[in-house]
A = this chain, B = another copy of it.
Amino acid sequence: MDAKALVRDAHPYPSPCLLLDLAVVKRRFTALRQALPEARVLYAVKANPQPEVLAVLAELGCEFDIASPGELHLCRAVAGRERFLSYGNPIKKERDIAEASADGVGLFSVDSPLELEKVARAAPGASITVRLSVSGARAEWPLTHKFGCSSDQALDLIKQARHLGLTPRGLSFHVGSQQTRPQAYADAIARAAHVFRAARAAGIWLDLLNIGGGFPAHYTHEVPPLDAYARSIRQAIHDEFPTTPPELVVEPGRYLVGDAGVMVTEVVLVAERPHERTPRFVYLDAGLWSGLDETMGERIRYAFYVSGPARDHGPAVIAGPTCDSADILYRHDLTSPSDLRPGDRVLILSAGAYTATCSTVGFNGFPPLPTFVLDSSKDVEAARPTDVDAVPES
């Protein structure tokens, strides 16, 4: 999407809202397929479960990774009964496992003995992968410290799965979301290969490796190109599995939809707070409770775009519209045009992932963030079909 065109064209849209360009999703999926043709692609539905997104991905042959019964129902409704689904959340209620199994979900992820027992009871004979804990260093949104087990635990779980009548297919891992270091995949693949070899020594042949998501969207920092990730992954697979490579699965979420979204917001107020370290506060009509959860700890640094000619910038704090002081998006290292005024439109770029579903049902009485779907490759009314290329304001 061309952000400048959007500012021009955004006036029919209410503020705040999320605009989602299906053309970007399709381009990204195609790029990933070309870069890693040896991998099955499972879209991490949680990144953005907008039905139109699932539909275009399904049309292109994408499969899906789900986190809950809600996502199961959605995928079935959009992509049909036959589409391959993986239940990647290692924390599932037993009745949800049973429902998913009855509904044909083909693969379950586990990382603990009690979860394995639940799967064995609720989905007898099911295929499972064991989630390995790997480093999340250099991921802007790390996913360690909650999921995953050690190599020794993984081996125990694989043996136990076999003992319980399940089918241990292989391993999964996640190097962290918005992973900025391609080598992270190679390191994790090496760890996984070690477990594959140990399992083989114990008489269990594993044949599937799910290397998760983590491929970055383009926020304010430069990120390596997709090819760098593909090279790192391919080389590691070649080195670690020289004779029979496992079936490779990737689970992109942010990479496919992040850059496809633009959040339209409006300046509600600009205020000088001389007693604060950065005195200039810009208040938008979207904030931490309208889907900008990933600004927590200022981890994801969205780029802002304001229309108009180049002009003076000054340091600014960016805050949301609620009465809550935790609703401050950025305090540090941000500037905004000095003449920003209430009513001005501010676009938040690359806001397609982990936003709309994160907006609250009504904190402070503000309604959830609506999504408008367009396709810049088809719709002449839509923004021009180039990726977001605006100069970030920050």
Contact = CB atoms under 8 A, between A and B. Distances in A.
Given A146-B327, A273-B149, A324-B143, A66 B115 contact: no
Contacts of A111: 271
Contact of A275 (B150, B275, B324, B367): B150
A343 interface: yes
A362 B142 contact: no
A270 B46 CA distance: 23
Interface in A257-280: 266, 268-276
Given A70-B367, A149-B273, A270-B114, A323 B361 contact: no
Nearest to A44: B323
A71 interface: yes
Contacts of A92: 268-269
Contacts of A136: 325
B364 A150 contact: no
Interface stretch (A228-236, A306-314, A352-360): A352-360
A364 B146 contact: no
B365 A323 contact: no
B359 A143 contact: no
Contact of A114 (B69, B271, B361): B271
B325 A142 contact: yes
A139 to B, nearest CB: 10
A362 B360 CA distance: 9
Contact of A361 (B46, B324, B359, B366): B359
A153 B53 CA distance: 49
B94 A358 contact: no
A211 to B, nearest CB: 16
A356 B153 CA distance: 38
Given A70-B366, A271-B115, A93 B285 contact: yes
B269 A365 contact: no
A271 B321 CA distance: 39
7 contacts: A68-B364, A91-B269, A118-B342, A136-B325, A145-B276, A357-B361, A360-B360
Lowest 4 A-B CB distances belong to which pairs?
Answer: A70-B365, A71-B365, A112-B271, A68-B365
